């Protein structure tokens, strides 16, 4: 028994690929009589002030936690 998708999620952004993604999602939706749901996605650091710095800070904190002694 195959899986039948009733909804197809199409993630779109401002990239040059967005039109191809939408075309492909529409083609799949039509072939499978499925609903298309488009969701706008963004790079965590694109257009969000301070997001890249926060991402680097979180990575540094993760690295520091990995170096903590575990036998205390």
Gap between the Cα atoms of 59 and 65, Å rounded: 10
More confident residue, 26 or 63: 26
SS3 state of residue 33: coil
pLDDT digit string, tens, across residues 22-34: 999 999 999 999 9
According to DSSP, the residues that pair with 2 across neighbouring strands are none
The domain ranges of the chain are 7-66
Q: Is the pLDDT of residue 67 over 70?
A: yes
């Amino acid at each position: 028994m195959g899986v039948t998708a009733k909804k197809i999620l199409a993630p779109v952004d401002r990239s040059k690929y967005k039109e191809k993604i939408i075309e492909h999602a529409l083609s799949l939706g039509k072939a499978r009589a499925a609903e298309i749901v488009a969701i706008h996605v963004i790079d965590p650091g694109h257009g969000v002030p301070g997001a890249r710095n926060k991402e680097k800070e979180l990575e540094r904190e993760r690295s520091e936690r990995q170096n903590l002694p575990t036998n205390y």
